[in-house]
Amino acid sequence: MASSGDDSSQVWTSDSSQYLSVMYDDTHLVYFKPSGETHFLNFLSFGLIDVLSEKSLTIDGLHELIQDRFSLTADDIPKSLLISTLAELDLAGLVSSKRVKEKL
Amino acid sequence: MTEKPILPDTSGADTSSSETEFDAETRRISERRQLLTLGAAGLPMMLTLKASAREVLISQLTCTVKLPQRMRILVDCDGAAWVGTRSIDYVNGKGFEVADIVKFKDKASYVFPSGTVPNNWRPDTCPIEECNNDDDDDDDDDDFDFESASAELDELMRASFSDQADGIMLASAMISRKGDDDDDDDDCDEDYVDSGYAYYQINKNTTISPADHLSGSTWSTQNNNNGLFIELSLAYEASYGNTAGWPGISCIFSIITYLGQQS
């Protein structure tokens, strides 16, 4: 289920055992086993699922980590772009999110 | 996304290779920035290929069968079936002409053994054998030469059945034919038979969608002529697999393969 992603209480994750990927230059062909679909991901969208396969993150944590990973700045990768890309990945089933209960 | 090829350096200068790597990384980051700018403007960051593995799997289910010629099917009370192209006349008040039935069986392209056809398609009424008098003097047996048939059958039995699918069918036809003299009312010396057979016809160019006869992942054939075709197709596939011959067998086979992949 796709969600807006713009929620600091949401934690995003991905399961690398669910897909197979092959890299071509700066893009990746990703075969997602549960749906049987093949996706063509650029460096950003693949970077997101790769990072989230290693560690579950909130949108803010993901925003920081992805900048470091690609030596880019927050201006280069607007948070809104991250959110819309996560929504695309969520629709394809490549990422999922869960809401973390805040401690009282 | 295309990238200009990095040509090998031929200047011989030692520092050029590190400069090339630096340039390549700079260019890569620049390209990524451009891509991100397009992304911020709405360019999708991922695409789903239409020709995906899922599409291939689904296409296995969506195949259809178009009959290249008219198919006529004769079914007896035991669920045996003969498939051919000859017509069988039905005379109101009398029934099928026995000679037609004999010829149809004789010329059948495919013969399926007893038990193949489910009850839905078997005849409503079956004869009670009362005319089994073998010492009558009729000429019913004259149209069948037991000696020559037996010789042909022996020859077929000697042949390799594994690579003679048609031979097996022909042998089956002969066996059935031999048995027919006992149950076709031939001994009753009748020209017509009004029970014991159901006769179906599917027109040339009829398009059949086997997936329409699936319920979930199991076969659930519809109670019509196309359903009978599917039942016979499944019986053929069970014996011969994807061996060419039966119309549309590759379609049936692909669906069975698909169902196997899903289980």
Rounded average pLDDT over B228-233: 95
Task: Tokens 């560690």: give the residue.
Answer: A55
How much is the mean pLDDT over chain B?
Answer: 72
The whole-number pLDDT of residue B118 equals 94
Distance from CA of B57 to the nearest CA of A (A): 9
Rounded average pLDDT over B158-163: 36
Rounded average pLDDT over B204-230: 86
How is residue B140 annotated by DSSP? G
pLDDT tier for residue B50 given thresholds of 50, 70 and 90 = low
Chain B residues in contact with A72 (beta carbon < 8 A): 29, 32-33, 36
Inter-chain residue contact A72 with B29, CB threshold 8 Å:
yes
pLDDT above 50: residue B184: no
Which residues of A lie closer than 8 Å to B, measured between beta carbons?
Answer: 25-27, 29, 31, 35-45, 70-72, 76-78, 80-81, 84-85, 88-89, 92
pLDDT in tens, A35-93: 777 889 999 999 999 999 999 999 999 999 999 999 999 999 999 999 999 999 998 99
Instruction: Give the separation between CA B122 and CA B3, rounded to whole angstroms.
Output: 68
The whole-number pLDDT of residue B245 equals 84
Inter-chain residue contact A44 with B53, CB threshold 8 Å:
no
Rounded average pLDDT over B129-156: 44
In the structure encoding, which two tokens stand for residue B34, read together? 């451009």
Instruction: Give the separation between CA B22 and CA B3, rounded to whole angstroms.
Output: 15
Among B32, B39, B53, beta carbon nearest to A36: B53
Chain B residues in contact with A31 (beta carbon < 8 A): 52-53
Among B3, B45, B48, beta carbon nearest to A37: B48
Interface predicted TM-score (ipTM) of this complex, two decimals: 0.85
Among A26, A37, A88, beta carbon nearest to B52: A37
Inter-chain residue contact B46 with A70, CB threshold 8 Å:
no
pLDDT tier for residue B126 given thresholds of 50, 70 and 90 = confident
Percent of chain A with pLDDT over 90: 58
pLDDT above 50: residue B124: yes
The whole-number pLDDT of residue A66 equals 96
Instruction: Give the separation between CA B229 and CA B235, rounded to whole angstroms.
Output: 10
Helix (H, G, I), strand (E, B) or coil at B263: coil
Helix (H, G, I), strand (E, B) or coil at B46: strand
